[in-house]
């Protein structure tokens, strides 16, 4: 039997996730042999960067690799899978938060999920070893192999069902994407008054640092949770010309006010 480190891996996709996962796979000593993306520029960028073969032709994707890792948008996984000629013995993995594992059911026998719970941007370097990896597999052999791969990539590996993974993904959208959008709204509020976003950075940093050891409900601060209604009224007056900001302000502060009155 082939040793895991000798098994040939193909990554499908060259977006943000692939951009971080591919070099981590190489660094862990695995035999990554090809990158495929429908977009030749992305495939080339990533392939050239890490010195791995790349292609944008689905019929040029190696049919005899051992492991295929799909790092593409949810909607595209099945259609791309069906375009490729993947051998029946391969381990087929997707990396999506919201897609159930069983989308591959009936199409192949060894499959699973490797969901990295992190926000990936090409502009940011990440320590892959610190990213929680949520795994799930279709059978014992697939699970054993997937766990071996995952534990070489990260110190935090958890078995998580499709159901719970979806819950995690939704929580992540609140804690990351929506949080980042609040940062952006803060940026816009400051910009309208020619204030520098860097003034807020120590606050943003401390707000996140607080919940590294404590729970969010125990460290809430600000006018709403203090029940300081005259500040809330002033802020709503200030925001009244922007419907969206005002709506968010009211939703959040009403909710925090309710919490403070519990």
Interface with its own copies (CB under 8 A), residue from 83, 168, 257, 261: 168
Query: In sequence order, what are the residues at sequence separation of 6 or more whose Cβ sits closer than 8 angstroms to the Cβ of residue 170?
Result: none
Q: Which is it for strands 8-12 and 54-55: parallel, antiparallel or unpaired?
A: unpaired
User: Considering the rule CB under 8 A, would residue 257 count as an interface residue with its own copies?
Assistant: no
Closest approach of Cβ 70 to its own copies, in Å? 14
Closest approach of Cβ 30 to its own copies, in Å? 22
User: Considering the rule CB under 8 A, would residue 102 count as an interface residue with its own copies?
Assistant: no
Tell me whether residue 2 or residue 124 sits nearer to its own copies (CB atom). Answer: 124
Interface with its own copies (CB under 8 A), residue from 98, 102, 139, 141: 98
With b meaning 16 or more CB within 10 Å and e meaning fewer, what string describes 129-144? eebebbbbbbeeebbe
Tell me whether residue 90 or residue 256 sits nearer to its own copies (CB atom). Answer: 256
Interface with its own copies (CB under 8 A), residue from 192, 241, 261, 262: 192
CB 84 within 8 A of CB 146: no
Could you say which residues in the range 119-138 bind its own copies, by CB under 8 A? 119-121, 123-124, 126, 130-132, 134
The β-bridge partners of 32 are 9
Q: State the Cα–Cα distance between residues 197 and 183, nearest whole angstrom.
A: 9
Interface with its own copies (CB under 8 A), residue from 2, 3, 29, 75: 75
Residue 53, Cβ density class (10 Å: 0-12 exposed, 13-18 middle, ≥19 buried) = middle
Interface with its own copies (CB under 8 A), residue from 197, 246, 257, 260: 197
User: Considering the rule CB under 8 A, would residue 39 count as an interface residue with its own copies?
Assistant: no
User: Considering the rule CB under 8 A, would residue 57 count as an interface residue with its own copies?
Assistant: no
User: Considering the rule CB under 8 A, would residue 156 count as an interface residue with its own copies?
Assistant: yes
Q: State the Cα–Cα distance between residues 25 and 150, nearest whole angstrom.
A: 10
Interface with its own copies (CB under 8 A), residue from 5, 48, 60, 203: 203
CB 93 within 8 A of CB 114: yes
Could you say which residues in the range 235-254 bind its own copies, by CB under 8 A? 235, 238-239, 244, 247-249, 251-253
How many of the other CB atoms lie within 10 Å of CB of 207?
Answer: 14
* Chain centre to alpha carbon of residue 247: 28
User: Considering the rule CB under 8 A, would residue 190 count as an interface residue with its own copies?
Assistant: yes
């Amino acid at each position: 039997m082939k040793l895991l480190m000798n098994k040939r891996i193909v990554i499908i996709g060259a977006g943000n996730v692939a951009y971080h996962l591919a070099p981590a796979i190489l660094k862990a000593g695995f035999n990554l042999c090809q990158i495929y993306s429908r977009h030749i520029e992305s495939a080339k960028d990533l392939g050239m960067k890490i010195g791995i073969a790349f292609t944008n032709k689905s019929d040029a994707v190696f049919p005899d690799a051992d492991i295929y890792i799909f790092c593409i948008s949810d909607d595209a996984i099945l259609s791309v899978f069906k375009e490729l000629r993947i051998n029946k013995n391969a381990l087929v993995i997707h990396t999506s938060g919201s897609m159930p594992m069983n989308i591959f059911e009936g199409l192949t026998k060894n499959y699973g999920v490797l969901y990295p719970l992190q926000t990936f941007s090409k502009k940011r370097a990440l320590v892959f070893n610190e990213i929680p990896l949520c795994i799930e597999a279709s059978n014992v052999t697939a699970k054993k192999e997937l766990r071996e791969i995952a534990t070489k990539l990260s110190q935090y590996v958890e078995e998580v069902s499709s159901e719970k993974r979806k819950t995690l993904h939704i929580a992540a959208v609140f804690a990351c994407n929506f949080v980042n959008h609040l940062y952006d709204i803060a940026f816009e509020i400051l910009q309208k008054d020619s204030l520098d976003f860097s003034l807020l950075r120590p606050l943003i940093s401390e707000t996140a640092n607080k919940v590294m050891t404590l729970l969010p409900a125990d460290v809430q601060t600000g006018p709403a949770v203090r029940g300081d209604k005259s500040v809330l009224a002033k802020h709503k007056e200030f925001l009244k010309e922007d419907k969206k900001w005002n709506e968010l302000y009211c939703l959040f502060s009403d909710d925090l006010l309710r919490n403070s009155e519990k």
